[in-house]
Structures are given as C-alpha cells and as structure tokens.
Amino acid sequence: MLIFRYPWFIYSFLVPCYGSLKPGFSQLQRGHRLDRKLIQSFTELSFLDCVIECLVTPRCKSVNYFKGANFCELSYENKTTAETMYMDNAGWVYSEKEHWPKGLAGACSNSNCKLNETCKHKRYSEDKFFECVLSDCGIPDQKGIDLNTTRREDAIGIHRRIHASCAGGYSQSGSGRLICQSNGEWKYDIVCEVTVPLELAFGKPAEQSSTYLTHGAEFAVDGNRGTDLILDNCAHTGDGDTNPWWMVDLQAVYSIKSVRILNRGMDEYGTDVSFRLRDVTVTVGLTESDVNTPCGFFAGPGTLSQLVVIDCPTSPQGRFVKISKTTEYLTLCEVDVLGFSL
Ligand SMILES: [Ca+2]
C-alpha cells in the first residue's frame, strides 16, 4: 500500500541504508540540522528510536541525528518555525515529527501528557500502558533575557543547562547560566536590569498633607514643568502645616532608583522662597499606610527652578513614594520618580 503513495525510487535508495520502510524516511533532510533549539539529546539511539522519542514528547517538533555516533537530538522548533537555525551540516540528518505516523509511539500515541512532559511506556502495569514524566523546564522567558547567545550543546531538558545573556538595554548580573532542575523549574543565575530607568509618576494619583488655595498634589505630576507658582499651579501645602508631605501612588510595585524634584522659581511679583526646599526625605512603601522605607535625602536649601535629584542607593521596592519635611511649606512644581519594573 505504501508503495503507491511514494515513488519507487525513494525506496530503492533508502532500503539499503536503513532496511526499514517507515514512511518518514522519504522526508529526511540529509546534511542538515536545526541549531540551538534542543530539548534533550541521547547517545546510542537508533534513528527510528530517536524519531519515536520525539513522537512521545509533546514539545518536540523535529530531530537531528548523527549516524556516525548514533546521536539523537530532539528540538522544540522545526525549520519552518526557526528558519534561520536550519543549517548545512555534514553527517547529520534532519527530520520533522509530522512526517512520521503517530502510531509509531504505540500506547503513547494517545497519551494526554502535558507540553513539558514525555510519555514513557509501562510494560507490566495493569491499569495504564504509559506514564507521563517531566521532560523539560520550558523555554526561559525571564524579562530581558537573550537566548541568542546559547551554545550548541545547550538544552531545556531536565538536568541540562543554557548559557544566556541579557538583551540590549539591560545590564547583567550573574553568570548567565540557567540549570533545568529535576522538578522542572529553571534555576536562574542571571538578572537582567533595564539600564535606563522609566519615569513612573506622570499622571498617577497623588495626595498631600494639606493644600494651599488651589495648589493640589496633582500639579506635581501633571507634566507641566513650569516653575511659576501662580502661572503653573505647582503643588503647595497649606499654612501652619509643619509636617508637610506629598505622596504618589505608582499603582504597581517598582524598584525605585531616584526621585527628581523641580523646585519653585520666581513668580511675577519677584518672590523667591526656593530655599524652603530643604531637609527633604523621600520614603517608599508597599502600602499606603506604611511608606517608611528610606529612599534618599536632600539637605538643601534649594535654588530657583532647581532640578533636585535624590538618589535611592538601595533601590527600594514600593508602590507609594512619599516626599516629606519637618518645616512649613512643601512646594513641588514637578516630581519624577525613576525606577524599574519588577
Ligand atoms: Ca507641574
């Protein structure tokens, strides 16, 4: 029956090589291999067993086989999904899972194993003919991670490892090594941090301890960077408030790198009270009721329209950022909170 589906010359060519008539042999890509998409590799496996191993592993899409060493590699991509990784390589054979009959997997052809599992035959079991065991840790997707620096032998299978690095715009700490542990979870020795922090405060809800006239807390995050109190409506706490504070809700937890305060400038009456910006404390908190983690401090006094940069050397994590002082009047023409997503 098979002979009618495939041209005779393919069989006359393949039979002497493999001595078997499995239909997938007609689709072999000799002298090719798919690079750096490995789930797992095996030594001392026949080509047919290599294909079967792929058939029983839901994540597997293709195999590379090196006949000289009976070396089998299972890949989680194929030449269509990872075109640029498909390359010439003498001595290797490339083959795709879909070209092989499902039935080759035996009892495993109807398994319900998950994507990160592989199906193993159970010979002497009464209730089931197969079981699902963990096969891999999945494709790492940690923020900022770049998998284009992996090595030829890297794989995502259990007990395998990957050499990764951080993508452009991220700075790396750690060796870059990822180890797939027996529980199916990656052990990461890499942290990728965005090199340029994001401005997080613009347009976010803000409040302050008291308000002078109409100078509400929102004017410190309205994007208007003018510093004339009357013209530009900076945020300004009220008379008699000797413990003034201003606070913004970033609406998510971030790692805070620095806070910038744009101080008040001269108004049309020539008033200069820029010196009021002094002994300013910046704190960070996860909840609105506890914003006490130290971030940074500015001794001052400030000068007219000064952009005061307060660094937070410990990069504390928080959702709320509070600016406070212990003498009358806190005036903020604009506040930038710079930090990183977690
Ligand atoms: Ca403003």
**Rounded distance from Cα 250 to ligand 1 centre (Å):** 17
Closest CA to 317 of 289, 292, 285: 285
Calculate how far, in angstroms, residue 328's C-alpha sits from the geometric centre of ligand 1: 20
Give pLDDT < 70 ranges for the chain: 1-22, 123-127
Q: Distance, CA 160 to ligand 1 centroid (Å)?
A: 53
Q: pTM of the predicted model, to two decimals?
A: 0.56
Distance (Å) from CA 92 to ligand 1 centroid: 65
Per-residue confidence (pLDDT) for residue 7, from 0 to 100: 47
Q: How far is the CA of 279 from the centre of ligand 1 (A)?
A: 21
Query: pLDDT at position 170, please?
Result: 83
219 CA distance to ligand 1 middle (Å): 5
Distance 254 CA to ligand 1 centre (A): 22
Task: Map out the domains of the chain with their CATH numbers.
Answer: 2-106 (3.50.4.10), 136-194 (2.10.70.10), 198-341 (2.60.120.260)
What confidence score (pLDDT) does residue 125 get?
61
Q: Characterize 201-232 residue by residue with b for buried, 16 or more Cβ atoms within 10 angstroms of its Cβ, and e for exposed.
A: beebebbbbebbeebbbbbbbbeeeebebeeb
Q: Tell me, in angstroms, the distance from the centre of ligand 1 to residue 335's CA.
A: 8
Instruction: Give the HSE-up count for residue 91: Cα atoms under 13 Å, Cβ half-sphere.
Output: 7
Angle at 189 between CA 184 and CA 195, to 5 degrees: 125
Cα(169) to centroid(ligand 1), Å: 29
- What separation in Å is there between the alpha carbon of 224 and the centre of ligand 1? 4
Neighbours of 137 (CB within 10 A): 25
Cα–ligand 1 centroid distance for 333 (angstroms): 5
Residues near 181 by beta carbon (within 8 Å), at least 6 away in sequence: 137, 158, 159, 187
pLDDT at 10: 44
Q: Ligand 1 centroid vs 259 CA: distance in angstroms?
A: 15
- The confidence score (pLDDT) of residue 15 equals 45
Per-residue pLDDT at 122: 77
CA of 70 to the centre of ligand 1 (A): 70
For residue 253, CA distances in Å to 219, 249, 250, 258 come to 22, 10, 7, 15
Q: How far is the CA of 231 from the centre of ligand 1 (A)?
A: 10
Distance CA 178, CA 156 (A): 9
Q: Tokens in use for 137?
A: 């840790």
